[in-house]
Amino acid sequence: MNSGSLRILALAACAALAAGCDDHSGPAHGSGASSHSAEDGTFFDDFSGHFPSPNWEIRDGSPFTHDDVGDKAPGLVMRPFGDRIRLRGTFQFSTSEPLTLSFDLGAYELQWSSHFKARILPVSSGSEALFETHSHKDEIRLRIGGSDDEDDFDFKPDGGYHEVMFVIDSSGAASWWVNGKQFMKRSTFTQGTYRIQLETTGGDETKFVVDNVRITRP
């Protein structure tokens, strides 16, 4: 059997038996209500329901939910096995009014090659915002529109969770925050309709977990 077939079998086993591939005991999570979306543009998904759900479109890889991870389990396990995991929210939001988009991010295993990205992408046209971990540099890379910034941040693979927020304030300024601390701010961000994309790359031991994806309005 060639290496490609072995990898396919490993991914299939991981999806079916999350405990064995995830170094945790307990079943993968099944059905249940996990999201809330209202006409005012708010949204919440704690990954406690069926996954993949209508909230997410899987573009690459095999992310799955599991009862033994998460900031208040379950959480979304993003373990790329040397390839890439990429999923995009099907829910859309407007940046023409103030909002806070947040999620909790934890790491259980990190390698030199481990990267996590959260992109704020325009649905048709507009700017882009980016949050990216650089594990081997102990830093995060941030982007708002055409501006980039790098900041020191020791993202430890200890299962602890960090709250990441992208904020549009009443003046139209955009900013990135981590654990209540502002790391980057720009005075403008293109108004439009956007959605979020989550992406992980890394070796066989890389494991990020995302939980509590939320959009709130003042």
Looking at the domain assignment, is residue 25 inside a domain? no
Mean pLDDT of 25-36: 43
Take residue 130 and report the two structure tokens written for it: 């980016």
Please state, rounded to an integer, the average pLDDT across all residues of the chain: 85
The gap from C-alpha 158 to its chain's centroid, in whole angstroms, comes to 17
The CATH number linked to 93 is: 2.60.120.200
Range of the domain at 194: 30-216
Cα 184 from Cα 151, distance rounded (Å): 9
| Cβ atoms of 195 and 93 closer than 8 Å | yes
Question: What is the predicted pLDDT for the residue at 39?
Answer: 63
Question: Which residues, 6 or more positions from 38, have their beta carbon under 8 angstroms from its beta carbon?
Answer: none
Looking at the domain assignment, is residue 154 inside a domain? yes
Domains: count for the chain: 1
> Pick the residue with more confidence: 8 or 197?
197
Looking at the domain assignment, is residue 210 inside a domain? yes
Looking at the domain assignment, is residue 3 inside a domain? no
Mean pLDDT of 103-116: 93
Looking at the domain assignment, is residue 67 inside a domain? yes
Taking only the tens place, the pLDDT of each residue in 177-186 is 999 999 999 9
> Pick the residue with more confidence: 77 or 27?
77
Question: What is the predicted pLDDT for the residue at 41?
Answer: 81
Looking at the domain assignment, is residue 11 inside a domain? no
Take residue 155 and report the two structure tokens written for it: 């993202």
| H or E stretch at 12 | helix 3-16
